[in-house]
Structures are given as C-alpha cells and as structure tokens.
A and B are shown apart, each in its own frame.
Chain A
Amino acid sequence: MHADDLMPGDTPLRLIDEQGSGHPHEHYAFPSADLLREGYGRLVLGRRLNDQADALVRQGKLAVYPSSHGQEACEVAAAMVLGEGDWLFPTYRDSVAVVSRGVDPFEAFLLLRGDWHSGYDPNQYRVAPQATPLATQLLHAVGFAHAARLRGEDTVVVALCGDGATSEGDFHEALNFAAVFHLPVVFLVQNNGYAISVPLSRQTAAPSLAHKGVGYGMRGRLVDGNDLAALLAVLGEAVTEAREGGGPTLVEAITYRMKSHTNADDANRYRTAAEVEPWLARDPLLRLRTWLTAEGALTDGDVAEFQADAERVALDLRARIMADAEPQPLDLFAYVYAEPTPQLREQSELLAAELAAESRAEARTESRTEEVAR
C-alpha cells in the first residue's frame, strides 16, 4: 500500500454542513435518506438517554455519568455500521453506542447504578464490557478479530476510544498488532477535545490523530464527528474494507464534549463558555434534522414520534433504575473463578454468617418494636 493512500485528508470529511446543507463527495457515496432518517431516530434516543442519565445522577440514582452529549453521531454511527455478527468494544463514555447496538438500556446503566461492574451479557449483544482503563480494550478488540480471522470468519470489530487514550501505550500496541496481522478492526477515535481537563494539544503534536495511521501502515481517515452522514460513509467504507480483507483503519472523528468529563467534574475550571458556544451550532441532531426536513424525509410528525419513542425508553429506564437495587452480597464470591476456591468458599461462609446474624438482629428489633407498639 502506498503511503499516500494511508494519509487522511487535511480537512475532516463533511457531507452535511452546520447549516444542514448536503455536499456530495467524489469518493464517498451519500447515505440514503432512509438510513439517515433511522439514524436521526437513534440520535434523538441517544440525546434523551444522555439527559436522563444526567438527571438520574442528580437524583442520586446513578453513581456518576460520563456523558456523550454532543457526540451522539459518533455513538450511533459506530453501532449502525456493524453487521449482526460483528462486535463493538466500547469505553465508559459509550453508553449510547452500547444501547444503539441493542443492549437493554437498563442493563447498560447497571454499571453506573453500582449493582455490578457490567450489567449485560457481552455474547448476547456482541458488545464487550465497557472499559474504564484507557485503550486497554483496543487490544481485546484486536485479539478478538484475530481469533475470528484464524477461524476464517468475516467478523469485523469496531473499537472505540477518545483522544486522551491515543497517548496510552496500549493504543500504539493495538494499532501495531492490528496492522501487522492485517486484522479486520476499525478504530474510531472520538476526538472531543479533552481528556478530563487536558486539551488535545497536550496529547499530541501530530497534524491530526488520523495521521498516526500511516506510522502503522494503516489507513487514517478524518471525519466530522457531528455529521452522521459523513461518519456512516467513512466508517461504512472502513468496515467493508475490513470485512473484505483490507485490514484495519484508524478513523478520527472531530467532535466536542459538551458536558464536563462527568458530573463530578467542573469544565469551567479549564475552558471558557466562548469556546463551547460555537459547538452548540454544530450539534449533530440539529443539522441532520434540517437536512432531512429539506429533503422531505422527515416531517414534524416523524420528529414527534421519534421523541415520543425516546421518551418511552427514557422513562422506562428511569423507572427501572429508580427501583431499589437488590445486590446479592454473596455474589461477590460467585464469579471470581468458574469454581470458587476453598478460600473464597470460607470467606463466603463468613459473610453469610454475618448476614444471618444481621437479619436475626433485625427480626429481634422488629419484634421489640411491635411489642412496644402493642
């Protein structure tokens, strides 16, 4: 492969601009209006879930939420380009991608409610557990793709990370392994400008993150991360190439983290309102809605319907999250190994005895209270 073929362009690919005008591209086919209409529905749901999760944190029902508000187009596109048998390897900020892939929202948010470290069965949805350590899951994605390839399966893996993660050693090792073994992995870096408080300029001096691809012998592609049409075009092509034996692609999507890192963070300490303001106009939902409406592919009624659907999902999520969690203390020991070790069995018995004593004490207190009441 010639180095020029691996290089990203100087500007991110954009098919629908901030005003909602479409711009056909000589290389990338414009996604169909039907597909984009479906995508708009997913964006509406994604935005609604981001808002819902924020609200649930404020109400003390979720421990924390790293929001993808403003990045929903990346989240949705990552899920939409996958085939049935493909796999997604998400990070902690990718709950919307996880749900868009089909994971039950309640199961997706159980991690943040604090019931367990992951709330869904990866094999059921073909979605790896959301990774919290940075870039580590990229290597899992690469190994997963390698195994599929060794068996002659045409699985494609989409692996997500942020701009901060590109500084981690595992990012480098993952891209290098994927390129050396020519594996069907699409790396999607959501460059949202910040790693908690540290701006991109402190992560890299490269012309773009997509330029890093050439160093591995991998295609690097730069795309407007708030333009669902462009994302579907670039990621779709990368997935097709991967499936057809063309190897991995590194896609950098330029977007912006509209909210703080999480609810525990205060973005006002490191960025100004003036910096955030222009991004409001670049909102991924706004421009797609404008384009779809102008195309005659989306009526006000359709929008209302999408919003009503999203509302239903969000309220269902809210109701299920608000219900009291009933974590089982003895589960602490149940899954560490396929067979609990003798030591874990001993410790489990210890905790079980404590729990039994606790409930006996509670029962005594209750009966005393009843006696007093009588």
Chain B
Amino acid sequence: MKNKFSLFIIVIFLSFCFVIFYKGLNTPNNYTPKINEKKNIPIFKAKVFNSDSYINSDEIFEENIFYIVNIWASWCVPCRTEHPLLMQLSKNESIKLIGLNYRDNFDNAKKFIDDFGNPYSRILIDKDGTLGVEFGAYGVPETFLINKNKNIIKKFVGPINQEIVNEIKLIIK
C-alpha cells in the first residue's frame, strides 16, 4: 500500500515536471513585458528633428485620431526592413506616425530619411535614450499604437511585419 502511494506521488511529480518543461520549450527565452492594462502616454518635452525648437507631448498628440510612435535609428538594420511598411501605413489618413530618433547622429538620420522617405508627420530626437524609457521601450525598433483616448494600446518589439500592419489597420478601422 505504501509502495503504491510512493509510486503515485512519484508519477504525479514527474508529470508535473514534464508539463512545466514542455511548456518552457514553447515559450521564448527573451522577456517582453505584457501590456495588460492600457497605459497613458507619458508627459515629456522633446527636441524636434531638423529644428532647434522643443515640443510638449500634449501638442504632439492633440488630434482626435490614432497615433503610432515608432522608435528608429539610422544605424539600426531592422529599421530598414520595416521602413517600407511604415511608408505604407503613413498613407492611411486615420493615423499619424511620430518618429523617435533614438541615439542617432543627425546627418546619418537625415540621410536615412532622404534615402528611404519620410513616413512621419513629426520626428523627435531622443539623444540619450531617456525618452524611449518614458515609453517603456528598451531598444530599436519598437512601435507603439496610441488610441483616440491617448492610451498606449499595443506595443510591438522589433521590426513590424505585414501581419502587424494588417492588425493595426484592423484596429484603426
């Protein structure tokens, strides 16, 4: 009786371990914070690209439309792959794209925009990466979808793809 009980406990324990490790196989190793609750956009002041002026966040997101905040840099290779998709999104009238130029050199960033086109209605400069932290980002590229109530409703880490563009289009419809 005692042996049967021990066997039962061992089987339960081993199946528990199996389930845990099997689940672990399918989950990615890198951590991405979940956006469960809607976050408000941060309050900040940023330098405007190609000018000496500064702008407040409430002036940037003043229209009653959807916004996309895209963190990019000229030195970031994945940013090049997502750029045509951003250009495609920028043609949509119910959304405005805000670029956050992350830890970049001005001349290189300007060349990037001249070469590949400018999908952004406004570009802000994040020289030291602290503006990115305000958004909860930890690198480039990263894309945030902001709804009409000025809440961040989606966060895409890494370059966006056609699937994500379709998802965004579905949300803003």
A and B interact: no
Q: Interface residues, chain A, CB within 8 Å of chain B?
A: none
Taking beta carbons and an 8 Å cutoff, which residues of B are in contact with A? none
